[in-house]
Structure 1
């Protein structure tokens, strides 16, 4: 493969967004490792691999879908121009990559479930396998209409799917695979990470608010308008932080646990300030990358806080 082709594929998989895929599974791993010392590291590794493969699948499918529907164009779109739009990666190559990452996601997810859930517990095993298939299907259909319009083009559905997959599937689902149990306080972390990932999507939607609407992609940002979309963004982050705060309160051992969490909050404060006063939509690209890093730091801060005595 030529170096130029590698560069185009790196652009397509959106390398800068991939920390989102393992932020949730890493957070739940750190919490579960503190609570149960015998948590299998192999389970964590395959959680990360499966999450990465699914996000790459979603990103590739998103580029393919936005290209064939005309969302990715040379007119009002402000987001990064994708190689597929300029013919640097062909539609045929994209179809093959979607198929490849679908297979890899299924194989990785199946092995994850096999070594985490005893095959003797057949009902849970089958339920988890169906869950992997649902994740693969949803990753593709977000931007590619198979039997109907892509659900990512329907108001609120994109936000809801991100909330579910990057929140509850990522945090609560991986926690179950680590510990084979559910804990009520993990719902708080699922809520927190889900809302933070929704805020990343919202930056993307605020950036392309006009182009999306003109091309039939209806998002919450498009429905609210840029000013209210910023308010929606801020509220999502504040609720996420509040949920994380309650989790630490419920698991509080000493005041030092708050130090990593409070440090991460400062980054959110600066982010919110920039969003409020941001007028040049091209700067949303930079803010999106910053927020991805902040979310990863936030997840680590809560996870690490459990080990501070």
Structure 2
């Protein structure tokens, strides 16, 4: 492989925004652990869900890279991690084609799930793809009107967990909804940090995120609330006998400690570099929380 090819692969991987990918992996891991807890795990279906979720996340990130440049939200002067199109590293048309290719691949992978869940999964898949595009594109871009947080909570929390559990268990339980709400709230925190960092540039570009609409104080409260929802979800699962009480207590203590530490980092951050570091830490926390709760479900 030539140096140019390695650079190209590295650039596309950077554009995929690996710090955000735990938001796609975590709900699939949790749902599969819950299915294993219930004696209903199906690794083939889980693997297809994982591939679909990752492709939706990457496709959404490519769409965001393209549409934010077109709409003027991302420029070469942005304070966060560089964006491939805004930095002139990838042509807009090339990024648009890559976005379409990734979403098309996600659709094909999603078709492989139909034998496990029937036509309702086709509806879920198509809506997921359309919302991935509409996140920053189309006539009513969700992220530009303050709906980005809802998109992440619903599709990388509730939908991802419940659908992944359903294709393995052939049923939906209240525990799946609880897990979906918990990990969806944590995944939304990735977006909260990102939007917190970009308040000034988003406001200038007319991107009305919740951080722009309501300010830094609101985002700090929302960030802590995301941690509290996960703590509450763990407590509910313990109350239902799904998690062994001492294990749940340890998980809640860990989640609470991380919530306090990360919330303090958010409120005390001075400039983009500190927020970029927190963004990575938030993504790692989502992944680690999913792993620890999944292990707890096996007891």
Q: Same fold (TM over 0.5)?
A: yes
1:109 is matched with which residue? 110
Matched, 1:170 2:172: no
- 8 Å Cα contact 2:234/2:248 also seen in 1: no
Q: Which residue of 2 aligns with 1:209?
A: 199
- The structural deviation recorded for 1:9 is 0.8
**Structure 2 unaligned spans of 5+:** none
Residue range with higher mean Cα deviation, 91-100 or 61-70:
91-100
Match for residue 298 of structure 1 among 277, 289, 294: 289
The residue aligned with 2:133 is 140
Within 2, Cα distance between the matches of 1:107 and 1:82?
A: 28
Question: Who is 1:26 aligned against?
Answer: 29
Q: Number of matched residues?
A: 295
How does 1:102-251 map onto structure 2 within 5 Å? 102-114=103-115, 116-117=116-117, 125-145=118-138, 148-155=139-146, 157-251=147-241
Q: Which residue in the other structure is 1:61 paired with?
A: 63
Rounded Cα–Cα distance in structure 1 between residues aligned with 2:59 and 2:141: 15
* Cα offset, 1:160, TM superposition: 0.9
CA distance in 2 between counterparts of 1:149 and 1:190 reads 26
In the TM superposition, residue 227 of structure 1 has moved relative to its aligned partner by 2.1
TM (norm. structure 1) is 0.90
Structure 1: how far apart are the matches of 2:224 and 2:186?
Answer: 10
- Superposed CA deviations along residues 159-206 of structure 1, whole A, max 9, x for unmatched, are 111111011111111111110111112221111111111111111110
Q: What corresponds to 1:120 in structure 2?
A: none
Task: State the TM-score, normalizing by the size of structure 2.
Answer: 0.93
Pair 113,217 (structure 1): closer, same or farther in 2 beyond 3 Å: same
| SS class of match (1:85) | coil
2:40 is the alignment partner of 1:50: no
Q: Say if 1:264 and 1:301, in contact at 8 Å, map to a contact too.
A: no
User: Secondary structure at 2:113's aligned position in 1?
Assistant: helix
**Structure 1 stretches lacking a partner, 5+ long:** 118-124
Separation (CA, whole Å) in 1 of partners of 2:190 and 2:297: 26
The farther-off stretch of 242-251 and 101-110 is: 242-251
Judge which range, 7-16 or 211-220, deviates more. Answer: 7-16
What SS does the corresponding residue of 1:190 show, helix, strand or coil? helix
> Separation in 2 of the partners of 1:154 and 1:39?
39
**Shift of residue 267, structure 1, vs aligned partner:** 2.8
CA drift of 1:210 comes to: 1.1
Is this contact kept in 2: 1:73–1:85, CA < 8 A? yes
> Displacement, 1:261?
4.9
Is the Cα–Cα contact under 8 Å of residues 261 and 305 in structure 1 kept in the other structure? Answer: no
1:268 equivalenced with 2:259 (yes/no): yes
The SS at the match of 2:112 is helix
Shift of the alpha carbon at 1:254? 4.8
- 1:86, distance to aligned residue in structure 2 (A): 2.5
**Greater CA drift, 163-172 or 225-234:** 225-234
**Aligned partners of 1:213 and 1:291: how far apart in 2?**
24
